[in-house]
Amino acid sequence: MTGRSIRLTATPPVPEPGPEAPSGPALVLPVRGMTCAACVGAVERALRGVPGVAYAHVSLATEEATVVADPLAPPQVDALRQAVSDAGYEALAPVDDSLPDAQAAVAEARAREDRVLSRTLLYSAISSGIVMALGLPAMLRGGHGGATSNWLQLAFALPVQAIAGARFYRGAWAALKHGRADMNTLIALGTTAAFLVSAFVTVAPGAARALGIPPHTYFDTSTAILTLVLLGKWLEARAKRRTGSALAALLSFRPERARVERAGAVLEVAASEVREGDVFVLRPGDRVPVDGVVIDGQSSVDESWLTGESLPLEKSTGAGLLAGSLNVEGALRARALRIGGQTALGRVVRFVREAQGSRAPIQALADRVAGVFVPVVLIIAAVTCVTWLVFDPPVALAHTVAVLVIACPCALGLATPTALAVGMGRAAEAGILIRNGAALERAGKIETVVFDKTGTLTRGRPDVIRFEAFGIDERSALALAAGAEAASEHPYARAIVRHARALGVEPAAATAFRAVPGRGARADVQGDVVRVGSRAFLETEGVDLARMADGRAVLGVARGRTLIALVTLEDQVKEQAAPEVARLIRAGATPVLMTGDAEATARAVGQAVGIDRVLAGILPEDKARAISAMRAEGRRVAMVGDGVNDAPALAVADLGIALGTGADVALDAADVTLLRGDLAGVHRTLALARRTVGTIRQNLFWAFVYNAVGIPLAAGAFAPWFGWTLDPMYAAAAMALSSVSVLANSLRLGRARLD
């Protein structure tokens, strides 16, 4: 990885629920005030109604809206923010991870919201405790409280209803103005009904008796519900912050300050002020502010945030630098090449942010349910109220409030996005970038994994595996061969020079170098003409080839007209290839090797790594057809590659996996990018995808079960037969715990072992 950066698509993939979502420049807006799945739908509809918006998606887990603009007529940011405001929510300035001020604004808004919520929760909890204590004697007697107790409860409950309930009233009013209902509507209706009936009984007991209203008060119910719901929101907010821990960790690698040479002096400026072409200076302990190239100095640089390499890499003139890397020792001067969001770090952050906010197809059912959920609950609550007023009026209000409170669709709205956010973040920590939720869901179903050979299962470069000398010392022959090839850029020449230096043999000085493309090279070395090349080349040069056998990767070395050495080269199999293939097989996947190489070479590599099915001699244009044929057989196929000729196959596979060390076009066509170029990432991707999809299914199952059981229980449907009922306070606690449990289940993915 020395001297190069991971290359990602210039316009990062856009979160999408399915293939119908368009791609294009994406804008991310933090949105405040959303509480449930119904809120998400309202914000999405508002944004999609803005002229110039091609597509909009909102994530409740990350509290962000991703907007894809029409490139010919993009909308104004102010218009987007106004649309969100008109829908009853607050949109902050667009996310720009290259600008610390923009991040600070988002962080401050969240911190301010957290402080308000914490203070409100504390006040509500204290007041609610007092109200419950005042009502406890009457509860123990099985009767109702006296006038004094009721008035005291009213005095403490009124501020709670006004202060703690304000956020729900505001949300309910905003929803009502747009002809919809959401979680705020349910909480506002339930607690207000309990409070107003209690206040009426307290202020006008005679009128209440005349109307047949039982003399019970529900101040403890209204205050406890508000407190428990706020507690759930507080726990939910803390858990949501943890879903973004991977993104926060990535952002922490970017320094806030940089040292730049300007007007002959070294100035310290904000990292966001570094421009392309600027010369920046790194001292020991500094983090690299932007991607660049070293122009002076020598040092060791830790790039582990991206490469996973635990040891620092040596950097000198001409070496590349990645933003976020740590200069361990030595001083460097470097020229800025890529800044802001175009750096390797900026692209990875943007990729992860958008992937975390994406939508998986499995979420479609939850979305359809959420769209009609609240209106249906309101109908159920109305039916519950009327039914119990007919059969048992004293309990009608309690059952109605319980239905309204327990039926909040928070868990349903959080089930998928929280698992996706945590799963995508965990993948990023492991050096795996997954394009979106749809790709992750497909990855969880892969049955067949097709590997390209060169650069994927093999190192992608020839190495000398045998050097045999005749009539001359082997080291002397190697020095002559390396000297003749030192000026060549051919992969075989570089392999010979690399092999010599690895053995401590310096190439002999050479002059008059001349290459014969595709055949060999000659040079004057130590007074002799030394030739290195194929059999055909040496034959035309008049060299005696009695000792040289035919072979694609066997070169001869001749001094004058005498053959003095044979060099055998081979693109060697990566050490990790065989263990990783075995891992995939144990996990139930079928590996396939597909290559354009000859049958014998392909079979040898397949045997070395443990792949039985080998497709050899496949031309680049036929790779995609071969993948399509496998899919036509009913298989779910992943393609793993890194070259330009792999791009069509990566695009047509159910899941395209590109090694991060590969060609740009391969990375652009892939659904998954393995930043570290590590084959272990293939197994980790599939394993994490299966765990994430499994977690989503668990979340959705329990969210549906919770409502399927909780609503009838709250409505009193089981009371006539089993005597089962649900106190409104317990309903509020159950509602809060349902959301927190979904979040807690999703957060387990952050600790998932991928090995």
CB 700 within 8 A of CB 415: yes
How many whole angstroms separate alpha carbon 412 and alpha carbon 741?
12
Both 194 and 310 in one domain: the answer is no
Do 200 and 291 sit in the same domain of this protein?
no
pLDDT reported for residue 264: 81
CA–CA gap between residue 53 and residue 83 (Å, rounded): 12
Give the CA-trace dihedral at 562, 565, 569, 575, to 10 degrees. Answer: 180
Verify that 301 and 183 share a domain, yes or no: no
State the alpha helices, DSSP H only, in 392-445.
396-406, 410-429, 437-443
CB 208 within 8 A of CB 157: no
Same domain, 279 and 295: yes
Nearest by Cα to 553 from 534, 573, 532:
534
Q: How far apart are CA 535 and CA 2, in angstroms?
A: 35
Sequence-ordered list of residues with C-beta below 8 angstroms from that of 194, at least 6 positions apart, any chain: 218, 219, 221, 222, 225, 397, 401, 728
**Residue-wise DSSP of 374-406:** HHHHHHHHHHHHHHHHHH-GGGHHHHHHHHHHH
Among this protein's residues, is 452 annotated catalytic?
yes
Answer for the pair 709, 382: CB distance below 8 angstroms, yes or no. no
How far, in Å, are 177, 726, 751 from residue 353 at the CA level? 32, 41, 19
> Residues 636, 588: contact at Cβ < 8 Å?
no
How are beta strands 53-59 and 26-32 bridged, if at all?
unpaired
Please give the Cα distance from 626 to 642 (Å, whole number).
17
Which of 350, 345, 353, 351 lies closest to 61 in space, CA to CA?
Answer: 353
What local confidence, expressed as pLDDT, does residue 210 receive? 79
What is the model's pLDDT at position 103? 61
669 and 592 in one domain? Answer: yes
175 lies in a domain? Answer: yes
Q: Look up residue 672 and give its two tokens.
A: 């998954």
Confirm whether 396 is domain-assigned. Answer: no
Choosing from 312, 343, 374, the residue where a domain stops is 343
Give residue 322's identity as a one-letter amino acid code.
Answer: L
Q: Which residues are 611's β-sheet partners? A: none
Tokens of 109: 């808004």
Whichever domain contains 493, its CATH number is: 3.40.1110.10
Residue 694 structure tokens:
């499994």
**Does residue 362 form part of some domain?**
no
Element of type H or E holding 126: helix 100-141
Residue 89, token pair as written in the block: 């929510």
φ and ψ at residue 569, rounded to 5 degrees? -120, 150
The predicted-structure confidence for 10-56, as pLDDT tens digits, reads as follows 223 333 334 345 555 578 888 888 877 778 888 888 999 899 888 88
Taking 50 as the pLDDT cut, the residues of the chain under it are 1-20, 662-663, 665-666
Domain boundary among 243, 276, 305: 243
Please indicate, yes or no, whether residues 438 and 516 belong to a single structural domain of this protein. Answer: no
CA dist 602 → 109, 458, 483, 506, 614 (Å): 58, 11, 33, 34, 7
Q: 499 and 518 share a domain?
A: yes
* Secondary structure of residue 13 in the 3-state scheme: coil
Phi, psi of 15 (to 5 degrees): -55, 135
CA-based nearest residue to 252, from 209, 304, 287:
287
Instruction: List all residues 6 or more positions away from 717 whose beta carbon is below 8 Å from its beta carbon.
Output: none
Angle at 98 between CA 319 and CA 418, to 5 degrees: 110
- What pLDDT sits at residue 217? 80
Q: How far is CA 460 from the centre of its chain?
A: 29
| Contact (CB, 8 A) for 181 and 374 | yes
Q: Which of 747, 647, 743, 654 has the alpha carbon at shortest distance from 703?
A: 743
Q: Which residues form the domain of 123?
A: 114-243
Cα torsion 715, 717, 720, 726 to 10°: value is -40
Q: How far is CA 3 from CA 152, 291, 317, 325, 674, in A?
A: 73, 10, 10, 12, 18
Q: What domain count does the chain have?
A: 5
Q: How far apart are CA 474 and CA 364, in angstroms?
A: 68
Residue 586 is part of a domain; what is its CATH number?
3.40.50.1000
At 641, phi and psi to the nearest 5?
-160, 180
Q: Are residues 472 and 581 in the same domain?
A: no
Beta-strand relationship, 257-262 and 672-674: unpaired
Q: Coil, helix or strand for 495?
A: helix
Q: Are 451 and 585 in contact (CB under 8 A)?
A: no
Cα(403)–Cα(376) distance, integer angstroms: 11
Pair 276, 235 in one domain: no
Is position 412 within any domain?
no
Tell which phi-psi region holds residue 542, choosing left (phi > 0), alpha (psi between -120 and 50) or beta. left
Residue 715 lies in a domain: no
Catalytic residue among 96, 97, 182, 452: 452
Distance of alpha carbon 18 from the chain centroid: 17
**Strand partners of residue 332:** 282, 297
Q: Is residue 446 part of a domain?
A: yes
Q: Quick one: 82 and 222 in the same domain?
A: no
Closest CA to 401 of 679, 729, 678: 729
* Bridge pairing between strands 291-297 and 257-262: unpaired
Phi-psi region of 122 (alpha: psi -120 to 50; beta: other; left: phi over 0): alpha
The answer to whether 38 touches 176, Cβ cutoff 8 Å, is no
Residue 110, CA distances (Å) to 116, 238, 564, 567, 743 in order? 10, 11, 74, 65, 18
Q: 183 and 38 in contact (C-beta within 8 Å)?
A: yes
- Residue 579 confidence (pLDDT): 93
pLDDT at site 396 = 86
Give the DSSP letter of residue 612. Answer: -
Q: Which of 303, 320, 343 corresponds to the end of one domain?
A: 343
Whether residue 381 lies inside any domain: the answer is: no
Continuous segment of H or E residues that includes residue 566: strand 562-573
Give the integer Cα–Cα distance in Å for 640 and 340. 30
219 and 119 together in one domain: yes
The residues that bridge with 65 in the sheet, in sequence order, are 29, 58
Q: How far is CA 160 from CA 52, 197, 222, in A?
A: 44, 16, 9
Could you tell me the two tokens for 314?
Answer: 């040596």
Evaluate whether 27 touches 71 at the Cβ level (below 8 Å). no
Q: Confirm whether 130 is domain-assigned.
A: yes
Residues 672 and 588 in one domain: yes
